[in-house]
Amino acid sequence: MERHILTLNAGSSSLKFALFSAEALVCLAVGQIDGIGAEPHLVIRSGEGQRLVDEPLAGSSAPNDPVEAMVLVLDRLSKTFVGANIVAVGHRIVHGGTDYGDPIVLTAEIEARLTKLNPLAPLHQPHNLAGVGAARRAFPDVPQVACFDTAFHRAHPFVNDVFALPRALYDAGIRRYGFHGLSYEYVAGRLAEIAPHHARGRVVICHLGSGASMCALRDGQSVASTMGFSALDGLPMGTRPGQIDPGVLLYLMQEKGMSAAEISALLYRQSGLKGLSGVSSDMRVLEASDNPHARQAIDYFVFRTRREIGGMAAALEGLDAIVFSGGIGENSAMIREYVLEAMEWLGLELDLDRNRAGAGVISSERSRVRVFVIPTNEELMIARHTKAIVQL
């Protein structure tokens, strides 16, 4: 009987999932529920991209949280793939802290320790772990494997991980961790397959999406990331501000009387593209809008992205390749063009026709720095780790 691996990536308002054959890791289905708690919508596609389910979820069928979404997904998958034999479930766990890097089979003790990291990733960690609980109830005898988004950055040099705070705080775990590691790991592997020479050099991967960050790699290893202690730092995102002067937060507390909960809501849910534009957190909506605030939000996103590319190049002491990935990085030719225009000083020249056609390489033949567009696949990365750790 064929065996299957299920991968889950549970967030505050979405649940991404995929079903793989355990032996060959062939993707049989991939999908997600967006808008959990508001206007949820379920989409399931086959591994070849054929749409199998496209269903608005309303009334009694609408999930209100990731656990309910998980139950619904399992029901739809069981009806679409009758007889699916789940032998392992792999989970994206955003934060591993200082204790966890390598993928690991979850136990009650490990989950309790990971729960203590919830304040460091409140949009993700609690929901990641809720997904683990729901999967365990559905498959009580199946190993649940945690794959950590911080793991790829564990070998950073000290200077790229530390804050200029008293050393005791660093020893207590207050340091830069970096995130989106599963995405970076997959993209770095794909780059090594399609352009091994460049993959051995100095590379900046731009993971641009609702969550956005950059990673600087030397010889395929992460040496710096724009994200830090939490998933708030670095680039502006859909609803998160990215880099911000800590003095602003002190001012909001002391002069505006805002509580920690109010500031948390501001930083995680009300800022970024949504806050700047007053229109939407979705870059596609902003690109189509004629609201001047939407354009200002785009301009800020582009400015910070270009600035961080410069910073990553400095950390690498040069640059051989840039890779765009993530929802915005893969799909928005306009944002790629805005980010890369007038960057000849960095040895980079964009080919406008290639970029607008969505080519895999969008730099010109004259460009010293090669620019790639590589779709990420966190689900496959989770499945690979799960297969290895469970020894299927």
Determine the Cα–Cα distance for residues 84 and 245; give it in Å rounded to an integer.
50
Bridge partners of residue 46, in order along the sequence: 29
233 vs 242: CA distance, rounded Å: 4
Catalytic residue of the set 149, 161, 233, 320: 149
Q: Is 245 a catalytic residue?
A: no
What b/e sequence results for 171-197 when a residue is b if at least 16 CB atoms lie within 10 Å of its CB, and e otherwise? eeeebbbbbbbbbbbbbbbbbeeebee
Token pair belonging to 90: 């792999």
Phi-psi region of 305 (alpha: psi -120 to 50; beta: other; left: phi over 0): alpha
The C-alpha atoms of residue 35 and residue 13 are separated, in whole angstroms, by 5
Active site residues: 149
